[in-house]
């Protein structure tokens, strides 16, 4: 589940100086409405592994100073991106070692905690069933290794949001799509933008398998490449 090659590579580079008091520190992220605390592997499997949204996960520990310094930054990131991606945190200090919760999250093992924080995204697969193995497809895991500021983390998340789209590039293709009786519920975005916005990517994730009943949820027509098209 976890890529061991990333275990010691997930350091966040902090280009800032923060003065913070450690005299009265509550548990990390317990007071956040935008970040969901992941408490066991069952929740992980039922949410992230089956999600149609990009999931952003932070592994942290209050025992590590950089994790405490990152908390306001991660919260600020969550405020700006909560409507587009799913945002989680694993507080390693809150896992129960008596029922092997720590063992289920290798990054929370005592020998690994010192290397936290570790930020990773999980991008849902384009197809839910692997055509070669006939087994559920797994999300793509990517470790974040950029600077510790909300904007950079948000840019990384936007970059890896799934689009679940197929591009229509001709009038004939548009007509064929509109006349396809096997796909009764259709959504088309007409745009001349070279990139799909996070809003439409999140809508594609929200309505995947509900608006279109076959292979994809949204078709995007880039009118800038078809200025002569009449529809």
Confidence band for 167, pLDDT divided at 50, 70 and 90: confident
Q: How much is the pTM?
A: 0.75
Residues 115-144: pLDDT tens digits?
999 999 999 998 888 888 999 899 999 999
State the average pLDDT over residues 84-96.
90
Give me the domains of the chain, ranges plus CATH numbers: 4-159 (3.40.30.10), 165-225 (no CATH)
Q: According to the model, what pLDDT value does residue 130 have?
A: 87
Which of the two residues, 15 and 202, has the higher pLDDT score?
202
| Share in percent of the chain as helix, strand, coil (round to 5) | 30, 20, 50
Q: Residue 186's closest CA among 172, 170, 202, 166?
A: 166
Q: What is the pLDDT of residues 185-222, one digit of tens each?
A: 777 777 666 677 888 888 878 878 766 533 333 344 43
Mean pLDDT of the chain: 77
């Amino acid at each position: 589940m976890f890529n061991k090659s990333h275990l010691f590579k997930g350091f966040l580079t902090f280009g800032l100086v923060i003065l913070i008091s450690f005299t009265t520190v509550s548990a990390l992220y317990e007071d956040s409405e935008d970040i969901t605390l992941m408490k066991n592997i069952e929740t992980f499997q039922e949410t992230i592994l089956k999600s149609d949204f990009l999931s952003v996960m932070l592994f942290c520990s209050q025992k590590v100073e950089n994790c405490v310094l990152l908390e306001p930054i991660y919260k600020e990131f969550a405020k700006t991106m909560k409507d587009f991606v799913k945002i989680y945190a694993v507080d390693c200090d809150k896992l129960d070692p008596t029922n092997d919760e720590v063992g289920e999250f290798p990054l929370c093992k005592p020998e690994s905690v010192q290397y936290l924080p570790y930020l990773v995204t999980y991008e849902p697969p384009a197809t839910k069933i692997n055509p070669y193995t006939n087994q559920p497809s797994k999300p793509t895991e990517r470790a974040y290794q950029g600077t510790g500021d909300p904007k950079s983390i948000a840019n990384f998340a936007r970059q890896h949001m799934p689009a679940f789209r197929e591009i229509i590039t001709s009038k004939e293709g548009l007509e064929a799509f509109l006349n396809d009786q096997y796909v009764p519920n259709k959504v088309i975005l007409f745009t001349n933008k070279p990139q799909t916005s996070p809003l439409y990517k999140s809508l594609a994730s929200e309505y995947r398998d509900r608006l279109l009943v076959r292979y994809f949820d949204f078709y995007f027509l880039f009118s800038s490449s078809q200025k002569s098209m009449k529809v």
